[in-house]
Structure 1
Amino acid sequence: MMAYTYSLILLFTIIICFIASFDKRILFNHHFGAFVKSAILVAVPFIAWDVWFTATGVWWFNTDYTLGIVLAGLPLEEWLFFICIPFSCVFTYFCFDKFFKLDWLLGFNNIIVFVSVIICSVIALLHDDKIYTLVTAIATITTLIYLHFIAQADWIGKASLVFTILMLGFIPVNGVLTGTGLETPIVNYNPQDFLGIRILTIPIEDAVYGYTQFLLVLYFFKRFKHTRDENER
């Protein structure tokens, strides 16, 4: 049973959202194609990042909690992670955007971007010897600058609020992956490569990493969805 731990975490993360996608009030299933394309597109650099960090020992996996299928040094479950977790995140955003008036958050775009970029820049400069911290900070800075100044995305405030709410699910899910409730963590980290600041057992970098991944998947999802909507008119 222990070998199914990572798989079960992914299943419990996605199953309710997947079933709810077919609800007539939501119909997120109409956008599965847009989601899959966006998730795969973003997964490519993130999986490359994952493979690199695993190969260099920044983090590693306890295969006692996985099915034992390994591709490019990553458990199969880790590959599925880049579909399952973004699915739940984008689905949640889709529902909040559909049922709640969140336009008042548009006014927070500037402050969220500027504060986040400044904080990440300072941390990157002060901790350039910690590779996980540094790469995460650079990825977040680059993503926010692109979305805000180039793509001119007006939904960053909304996405940030939704991600804050998603933290209620992120903490137990990522908590188990990083050792909460287990004898040993599923994902282990080299203490020399990150700040050492944790939310329970979760490195703070994981939360920022997840935020950046969410923003990028959401960006491409909106683009693919818009193209589909335009073609159907």
Structure 2
Amino acid sequence: MPYTYILINFFTVIICFLASFDKRIQFNRLFGKFLLSSTIVAIPFIIWDIWFTAEGVWWFDLRYTLGFKIAGLPIEEWLFFYCIPFACVFTYYCIEKFFDLGLADAFNNIIVFTAVIVLSVVGLLYYDRIYTLLTVIITIFTLCYLHFIAKKEWIGKASFVYLVLMPGFFAVNGILTGSFIPSPVVNYNPDDFLGVRMGTIPVEDAVYGYSQFLLNIYFFKKITKNEK
């Protein structure tokens, strides 16, 4: 049981890590740039995590961890901000490399405008739920920045890849939130989120993950000079 969270991180990343050395992919040559880009994204999300943990918005069952904490977070939670993005960025990199998903980018405007409208309504209706509100604000800001300021053309493509990643999302976040194990690794204060769950996963987690995914792709592309 103490190895639960560290094993989740390990199994999330191991297949992608080994595949990185494939001669057709050679993602291993980009490890340093990935670490830099993921750290840029991780910093604000870790600060958010530390704050919410300190305020009791969510908390961790340390029975599922090795017991080492930094700034109130289990060491596994720090690794989470590298392991999950690694699997996500690697998947995006491979799909973009081997498949033409240009058609998906035709939906950029629809995705951005629909998401911003829906999230704005949710934020206005549930402004008193801090996890919901902050997730809405961060995701709206991310989409608006990428679409209107940075003018990125790959939001549709990235959104499609995020959908492809959903089975992995449900597996990882499902276990962390209590699926298949006696109690959750991560617990949530019911007063701070909508209470709408996909299985055991708060719907906010999917939106949170989407904004984190988009930002990881953005900075990875920027640092590797692979932008459109």
TM-score norm. by structure 1 comes to 0.96
Q: Deviations for 1:148-198, whole angstroms, at most 9, x for unmatched residues?
A: 001011100000000011011100111000000111100000001001111
Equivalent-residue separation in structure 2 for 1:199 and 1:21 (angstroms): 31
Equivalent-residue separation in structure 2 for 1:110 and 1:169 (angstroms): 27
Aligned residue number for residue 9 of structure 2: 10
Aligned residue number for residue 45 of structure 1: 44
The number of residue pairs the alignment matches comes to: 227
SS in 1 for 2:225: helix
Equivalent-residue separation in structure 2 for 1:95 and 1:131 (angstroms): 36
Aligned residue number for residue 24 of structure 2: 25
Cα offset for 1:103?
0.7
Equivalent-residue separation in structure 2 for 1:174 and 1:49 (angstroms): 18
Cα offset for 1:105?
1.2
Q: Which range is displaced more, 218-227 or 149-158?
A: 218-227
Counterpart mapping for 1:50-65 below 5 A: 50-65=49-64
Which has more helix, going by share of residues?
1
Cα offset for 1:106?
1.5
**Paired residue type of 2:222:** R
Q: Deviations for 1:49-102, whole angstroms, at most 9, x for unmatched residues?
A: 000000000000000000000011100000000000000000000011011110
Cα offset for 1:13?
0.2
Aligned residue number for residue 175 of structure 1: 174
Aligned residue number for residue 192 of structure 1: 191
- Which stretches of structure 1, 4 residues or longer, exceed 3 Å deviation after superposition? none
Cα offset for 1:29?
0.9
Equivalent-residue separation in structure 1 for 2:42 and 2:217 (angstroms): 12
Equivalent-residue separation in structure 2 for 1:197 and 1:24 (angstroms): 44
Aligned-pair identity (%)? 64
SS in 2 for 1:193: coil
Aligned residue number for residue 35 of structure 1: 34
List alignment gaps of at least 5 residues for structure 2: none
Equivalent-residue separation in structure 1 for 2:113 and 2:37 (angstroms): 26
SS in 1 for 2:117: helix
Cα offset for 1:36?
0.6
**Paired residue type of 1:138:** I
Aligned residue number for residue 142 of structure 2: 143
Aligned residue number for residue 111 of structure 1: 110
Cα offset for 1:208?
0.5
Equivalent-residue separation in structure 2 for 1:74 and 1:197 (angstroms): 25
Aligned residue number for residue 132 of structure 2: 133
Cα offset for 1:12?
0.3
Cα RMSD, aligned residues only: 1.0
Aligned residue number for residue 81 of structure 2: 82
SS in 2 for 1:15: helix
Counterpart mapping for 1:86-101 below 5 A: 86-101=85-100
Aligned residue number for residue 213 of structure 2: 214
